[in-house]
Amino acid sequence: MQSKITVLAAVAGLLAMALAGPPNLEAVPNGLDGGALRRGNGRVGRLLAGEPPQRAAPRFGGRSVPGSGLKRPPDAPRFLNPPLGSPPSWLPEARITGSNRNRDVSGNNSHKIVVADNGVRHVVMTGDDGHVYYKRYYPQWHCWTPDTLIFGDSCPSGAPGIALDSNGTTVHVCAVVNSGANGQPTHIYYKRCTTEVNPEPGSNGGWDTTCDVCEHRDPDYSAAGPSIACGPNHQVVICWLDWDGEWGEVCFREILNGVWQTSLGLSDATGSPSIACARNGDVHVAWSKQWWHSILGACRRTRIP
């Protein structure tokens, strides 16, 4: 008899819950993704009915941006502060260029910033006037130098890359320069900067003359997307994409013992390459390549000294 009463009570409870309808649940922000749920006056009924969630777009700087449903005031940080005991936090964002000029550090697969052993930071960028600029940061004075024109004083340039020599102070820069008529052909130019031992505040000096890396290449090809790196004993390696309008080839050239070596073609390619050099002088190059049936993949070659 007792078991029958228990079963009847359970059935009655289920009927009461069915007549009352499902409980209301409301999403409560939990960190950044709002994963926690609690009872309340929310609108979870639509979710239980199979309707898609109605996520509000986040507001960044007062503007509505489609996304994950984040809600924050315009002046609120988009990311949470790290908890206690975590690694050191990032310093605040700092603008390093003037407000009256556009500067761009996107583009090819090469570094745009390097840091020397003495804490000096070196940056290359493309200006809105079609020239490549350079500037550096001196930690002892806590200031950035003015922009210095590196390539393009007489012709357009862009897509720069920068690398730091194994001595920790010499900077190597490459870029695409339009040295021909009607935009053809473009070449890869190179420049080296040996920074001063006792620089003055605001100094960007120490630059050598410009060198044309592609001077011995096929004149019908235009160079694009350079990438630069440094190895031991002042080794400098550069790769780029040679393009004739229909066919692309990954090309490579390097400086060994202070002397430019003959440029080489490594493989056909469909995208700008990326290069790295190991401490023992091994050179590694990666690029994109088109195969049969329009399959795009990644390739790599290694040069061992």
Domain ranges of the chain: 2-54, 103-303
29-51 pLDDT tens trace: 333 233 333 333 333 222 222 33
Rounded distance, CA 128 to CA 111, Å? 19
Residue 7 phi/psi, 5-degree rounding, is: -65, -45
Please give the span between the terminal C-alpha atoms of the chain, in angstroms, as a whole number.
91
Rounded distance, CA 196 to CA 179, Å? 30
Contacts 24+ apart (CB under 8 A), 75-79: 79/32
Rounded distance, CA 134 to CA 15, Å? 75
> In terms of Cα–Cα distance, which of 251, 283, 287, 285 is closest to 269?
287
pLDDT at 172 over 90: yes
> In terms of Cα–Cα distance, which of 182, 186, 255 is closest to 226?
186
**Apex CA 136: angle with CA 131 and CA 138, to 5°?**
165
* CA 129 to mean position of chain CA atoms: 22
The answer for residues whose C-beta is within 8 angstroms of residue 239's C-beta and 6 or more apart is 226, 227, 250, 251, 252, 253, 266, 273, 274, 275, 285
Q: Is 104 exposed, middle or buried (0-12, 13-18, 19+ CB in 10 A)?
A: middle
Higher pLDDT, residue 131 or 97: 131
At 243 the pLDDT is 86
> In terms of Cα–Cα distance, which of 215, 189, 299, 178 is closest to 250?
299
**Ramachandran category for residue 103: left, alpha or beta (phi over 0 → left; psi -120 to 50 → alpha):** beta
The DSSP secondary structure of 40-90, one letter per residue, reads SS--THHHHTTPPP-PPPPEETTEE--SS-----TTS-SSPPPPTTSSPPP
Question: Residue-wise over 81-92: b if at least 16 C-beta within 10 A, else e?
Answer: eeeeeeeeeeee
pLDDT at 200 over 90: no
At position 234, the amino acid (one-letter code) is H
pLDDT at 87 over 50: yes
Higher pLDDT, residue 204 or 161: 161
Rounded distance, CA 271 to CA 157, Å? 19
pLDDT band (50, 70, 90) for residue 24: very low
At 114 the pLDDT is 95
Rounded distance, CA 198 to CA 177, Å? 32
Q: How far is CA 177 from CA 185, 187, 188, in A?
A: 9, 5, 6
User: Would you state the CATH architecture of domain 103-303?
Assistant: 6 Propeller (2.120)
209-266 pLDDT tens trace: 999 998 767 777 889 999 999 999 999 999 999 988 778 889 999 999 999 999 998 8
Upstream peptide bond of 53 is cis (omega within 30 degrees of 0)? no
Longest dimension (CA), the chain: 103
| Mean pLDDT, the chain, whole residue set | 74
